[in-house]
Amino acid sequence: MYRKCLKMTGILLLAALFTTVAWSSVQAEEPQITIDFWVGGGNRHIPGYDTPNHGDWERLLAREFEKLHPNVKINVEIISFSDIEQKVNVAVAGQNPPDILYDNIPNRVMRHARNGELEPLDAVVSADRDDWKEDFLAMGTHNGVLYGLPLSSTPTMMFVNKTILERKGVAHLLPEDRHWTWEEWEEVMAAVSDGRIYGTAFHALNEQADQLMVCHLVGAGSAWLSDDLTEFVINSPEGFEALEFMVSLIEKGYVAPGPASMAPGDALELFQQGRVATLQYVPAVYERVAAAIEAGAADPTIQLYGMLPPTKEDVAPRLTVTGEEGYALFKQDDPYKKEICLEFIEFLASPEHVRLLNQATVKIPARYSATYEIEDPEISTMMGKLAEYPVLDIGKSLEKYADTRQLFYPEMQAAFLGLKTPQEALDSFVSKANELIQK
Amino acid sequence: MKRDTLWGYLFVVPNLLLVLTFLIYPLLQAFRLSLFDAGLYSQTFVGLENYREIFRDDVFLISLKNTFYFVILIVPAVIVTALTFAALMQGFKQRTKAVYRLIFYLPVVMTPVVLSMIWRYMFNPSYGLVTYFAELLGFGMVDFFSSQTSALLALSFVVVIWMLGQPIILFLSAIDGVPPELYEAAKIDGANSLQAFFRITLPMIMHATLLITVTSTISVFQIFVVIHLISGGGPYHGTESLVYTIYNTAFVSLEFGKASAQSVVLFGIVAVVAAIQFRLMKPSMN
C-alpha cells in the first residue's frame, strides 16, 4: 500500500512538472501583454466607419490590431484635453505612465521627451521616412531623435454664419478675398448683434485653444515672441492695440456674454445654435457643424463661409496652428512589449489611417501619401487660401511653453472683465512668462 | 500583557496600518518634501525657501483669502439652514420626515462631478437655466462669473446645497434625542416655542453642532471639485481655493516641494481653526 502511494505521488509530480514545462513553453512563444493606450480627446466621424463618439476611432483600431495579435490586449482610455496633461503628469510622478499616449506633440508630449521618459520612434518611420514631412517630424524631435510622431496640424481661421448676415441684410459685406479688416468686421458685428445674437465669441476659461485668442492679439501686426524666441514681446503698442480692440467689442455688446468663463467648446456650441455670427476656430468646424446638424444638435439653417483672421488695415493675416496630435511611447522594460508597441504605433500611423483621420478633421496630414480629396468647394477654397499665408511661431518648441499657457488665460480674463487694463494685462503676462522661460 | 488587551490591539492593528500608510506616512512625507525643491526627477534640499516663496506668491495669497471667504460664507449658512430645516421638520410625522430627509440627502449621494457639471450648464449666461428664468422674470441675462464677488457667491451657493443633507440628518437625530420632559417643564413654566428652541434645544444639541461645525469647516477648507469644474479658479483667480492652488502647483507646474509647503500651511490653518472651534464651543456643551 505504502509503495503504491509512493508510486502515485511520483507519477503526479512528474505530470505536474511536465504540464508546467509545457505551459511555460507555450507562454514563451506568445506572452500575453496588455498595452495601456491613453487618448487625448479622441477622434470620431471617420469616413466609412461607424464612429459617432470621441475615441471610437482609436477603439476600433485597437480591436483591429488585437485581431492581428491575439496575445495582445489594448486598454483604450479617452481623456479630455483639459485633463490629460495633469493625468499624465500624475501618472509619470507615480512611475505608472501609460504605454502609448496620443496627445498634442509640441504642447505636452515633448516635455516628457526632454525629461527622458519616452522611447525613440525612429524605427517607426525608418522604412518610409520620405513619405513624412520633415517639419512635422521636427515637432517631435529632441536632440536629433524622434520621440513624438505627429499625424497632422491645423491652421486657425474664422467662420461666418452666412444665414445670420442674410437675415440682418448684411450678406453683401462678405468679401470674396475672404478677409475683413477690423473696421469691416466690427461693421458686421454691429449690424447683427441684438442682445440675443452676437457678433462673435471669445473664450478664456482655461488654456485650451488659446491659439485662437493669440491670433486676434497679433492682428495689429505685433510679434508674439522675439525672433530668437528668447522673450515674449506681445506687450508692444500693436499688441496693446489689439487687446484694446477686443475689449472694446465686449464693451459694445458684440461679444457673447461671459468670455472670461467661456470654454472654446461653449463658444462653438453658441455658434452651432446660431447665436453667434462669426467665430475664430479650426477647419474641423466644417465637419462638426455638418455632423451636429445631422444629429439635430445644431441650427439646420447654418451656412458656413470661411474667412482669414481679421486684422487691422494694411496688416497681413498670420495664422496660428494647433491640432498637432500624435503618438508617443513611454519607456518600456520588456523588449517584446516595446516591439509590439512600436508595431502598434506603425499600424496607427499607416498612410490609410492618417489619411482618414485628417479627412475627418479637415487637417493637414503629416504624410505626403495621406493627402485627400476635398469634395466640398467651400472647404477646398478655404484650405487653399489658408495655405497661402504664413504661420506664426508661438514658441511651442520652448521647454516651458506649456507653463506659459497657464499664465496667459488669467490675464485675458482680467482684461475681459476690466480688472486690468489691456496694457497691464499684457505687461503682466510678458513679465511672468519671460521670467519663467529665462529661469 | 493581558489576553483581552492583546486581542484588542490585534483588532485595531489592520485599521492602524491603513491610517499609518494612507494618512500618517503621506503627512510626514509632505512635511519632508516641503523642505526640498522637488520636481518629477530631482530633489534639492532648500530648507524653508519654499515657505518664503509661497508667501511672496500673489496667487497663493489670493487663494488663502478666497478660502477664508468660502469658510465664512458657507459654514454659517450650512449650520443655520440645516438647523432651521431640522427644527421645522421636528413636528412632522415620521413618513413626511423621511420624504424630506430623502430630498435633502440626494445631493450628498450624487457625485460632486455630476453636480458641478449640471450647475455649470445652469450658470451659462447664454443658454443656462438661471438666465432663462431671469429673462422670464424680466431681469435679462445673468452672468455670475462676470465678477469675482458674484462668482464666489455662486460657488458658495452650490456648495451649501451640496452640503446641507448630512447636517440636517445629524440635527434631526440630535433634536430627537432631547428628552421631551424638558419641553413639558418649559411649557409649564410658560415658555413659547422660540424660547424652548433657544433655551433647551440649542444647548442640548451643542455636541452635534460642534461636530457639524468642525467637519464642515474642514470640508470647505478642502473645496476643489466645484471650483475645478465650474469656474477653473477664475475669473482671474477670484474663486481659486488653497487646494486648487496646491493641485495646480503640483500637477500642472510640477513643483512638488512648493505644493507640499502649501499643503503644510493648509494643515496648520485647519488644525488651528478646529482647535479654536473646540475651545469656544466646549464650555457650551458642558
Share of chain A above pLDDT 90, in %: 89
**A258·B124 Cβ contact <8 A:** yes
Q: Is the pLDDT of residue A10 over 90?
A: no
Partners of residue B126 in chain A, C-beta under 8 Å: 256-258, 266, 270, 275
Q: Which chain A residues are closer than 8 Å to B143 by Cβ?
A: 257-258, 261
* Cβ-defined contact of A258 to B143 (cutoff 8 Å): yes
All three cell numbers of B104: 435633502
Q: Which residues of B touch A410 (CB under 8 A)?
A: 234, 236-237
Range 230-249 of B in CB contact (< 8 A) with A: 231-232, 234-237, 247-248
Query: What is the C-alpha separation between B70 and B39, in angstroms, rounded?
Result: 31
Q: Using CB atoms and an 8 Å cut-off, which of residues 97-116 of chain A contact chain B? A: 115-116
Angle (deg, nearest 10), helices B58-89 and B256-285: 30
pLDDT given for residue A334 in this prediction? 96
Closest CB from B126, B148, B251 relative to A89: B251
- Specify the pTM: 0.85
Q: Residue B118, Cα to own-chain centre: how many angstroms?
A: 20
Chain B residues with beta carbon closer than 8 angstroms to that of A406: 248, 252-253
Does residue A79 sit in helix, strand or coil?
strand
Q: What is the pLDDT of residue B105?
A: 87
Q: What is the pLDDT of residue B9?
A: 87
pLDDT in tens, A158-185: 999 999 999 999 999 999 999 999 999 9
Q: Quick check: B253 contacting A, CB < 8 Å?
A: yes
Q: Is A413 on the interface with B (CB under 8 A)?
A: yes
- Do B126 and A275 make contact, defined as CB atoms within 8 angstroms? yes
pLDDT the model gives residue A288: 93
Cβ distance of B232 and A261 shorter than 8 Å: yes
The mean-pLDDT minimum among A22-31, A179-188, A254-263, B273-282 falls in: A22-31
Q: Tally A–B CB contacts below 8 A.
A: 76
Domains of chain B, each with CATH number or no CATH? 51-285 (1.10.3720.10)
Tell me which chain B residues have a C-beta less than 8 angstroms from the C-beta of A269. 127
A337-366 residues touching B, CB cutoff 8 A: none
| Cβ pair B146:A258 closer than 8 A | yes
- The answer to whether the CB of A308 falls within 8 A of the CB of A216 is no
A261: contact with B, CB 8 A cutoff: yes
With a cut of 60, say whether residue B103 has pLDDT above it. yes
Per-residue pLDDT band at B97 (split at 50, 70, 90): confident
- Which long-range contacts does A283-289 make (Cβ < 8 Å, 24+ apart)? A283/A154, A283/A155, A283/A157, A283/A361, A283/A362, A283/A363, A283/A379, A283/A382, A283/A383, A283/A386, A284/A154, A284/A323, A284/A361, A284/A362, A284/A363, A285/A159, A286/A362, A286/A376, A286/A378, A286/A379, A287/A45, A287/A360, A287/A361, A287/A362
**Which ranges of B125-255 would DSSP assign to H, the alpha helix?**
129-136, 148-163, 165-176, 180-188, 193-196, 202-204, 206-221, 225-226, 242-251
CA gap A328, A118 in Å, rounded: 7
A126 falls in which pLDDT band (50, 70, 90)? very high
Confidence of residue A8 (pLDDT cuts 50, 70, 90): confident
Strand order of the β-sheet with A278-281 is A278-281, A157-161, A304-307
Q: Does domain A155-322+383-437 have CATH number 1.20.120.80?
A: no
- Closest partner residue to B143 (CB to CB) among A93, A206, A257 is A257
Chain A residues closer than 8 Å to B243 by CB: none
Q: Which residues of A touch B124 (CB under 8 A)?
A: 258, 266
List pLDDT tens digits, range A145-158: 999 999 999 999 99
Please report the pLDDT score of residue A4 as a whole number: 76
pLDDT at B196 over 70: yes
Rounded to a whole number of angstroms, the distance from the CA of B261 to the nearest CA of chain A is: 18
B122 close to A (CB below 8 A):
no
A35: left (phi over 0), alpha (psi -120 to 50) or beta: beta
Could you report the per-residue pLDDT of B143-187, keeping only the tens digit for each?
Answer: 899 899 999 999 999 999 999 999 999 999 999 899 989 888 988
The answer, for A205 touching chain B at a CB cutoff of 8 Å, is yes
Q: Which of B41, B127, B145 sits opposite A115 (nearest CB)?
A: B41
B148 touches chain A (CB under 8 A): yes
The reply to whether B141 touches chain A by the CB within 8 Å rule is yes
pLDDT for position B141: 79
* Average pLDDT, rounded, for chain B: 90
Mutate to test the interface with B, among A81, A87, A111, A261 (most CBs of B within 10 A): A261
Q: What is the structure's pLDDT at A21?
A: 62
Residue B45 pLDDT class (50, 70, 90 cuts) = very high
DSSP class of residue A93 equals H
- What pLDDT, on a 0 to 100 scale, did the predictor assign at position A23? 58
Q: Does A197 touch chain B (CB under 8 A)?
A: no
Q: Please tell me the class of the A31-150+324-362 domain.
A: alpha beta
Min Cα–Cα distance to chain B from A1, Å: 46
Give the model's confidence band at B282: pLDDT under 50 very low, under 70 low, under 90 confident, else very high. Answer: low
Q: Which member of B234, B253, B254 has the closest CB to residue A413? A: B234
Alpha carbon distance A45, B204 (integer Å): 64
The string of DSSP letters for A391-409 reads BP---TTSTTHHHHHHHHH
Q: Do A257 and B141 touch (CB under 8 A)?
A: yes
Q: In this structure, are residues B54 and B60 in contact, taking their beta carbons and an 8 Å threshold?
A: yes
Angle between helices A237-251 and A210-217 in degrees, nearest 10: 110
Average pLDDT, chain A: 93
Measured over all CA atoms, what is the biggest interatomic distance in chain A, rounded to whole angstroms?
107
State the average pLDDT over residues A291-305: 95
Instruction: Tell whether B25 lies on the interface with A, counting CB pairs under 8 A.
Output: no
Confirm or reject contact between A403 and chain B (CB < 8 A).
yes
Contact A148/A118 with Cβ under 8 angstroms?
Answer: yes
Q: For A256-285, what is the mean pLDDT?
A: 95
Select the residue from B145, B147, B150, B228 to test the A interface by mutation, using most A Cβ atoms within 10 A. B145
Tell whether A86 lies on the interface with B, counting CB pairs under 8 A: yes
Domain(s) labelled CATH 3.40.190.10 in chain A stretch across 31-150+324-362, 155-322+383-437
Residue B7 has pLDDT above 90, yes or no: no
Chain segment A70-115, per-residue pLDDT in tens? 999 999 999 998 889 999 998 998 899 999 999 999 989 999 999 9
Q: Tell me how far apart the alpha carbons of residues B228 and B224 are, in angstroms, rounded to a whole number.
A: 6
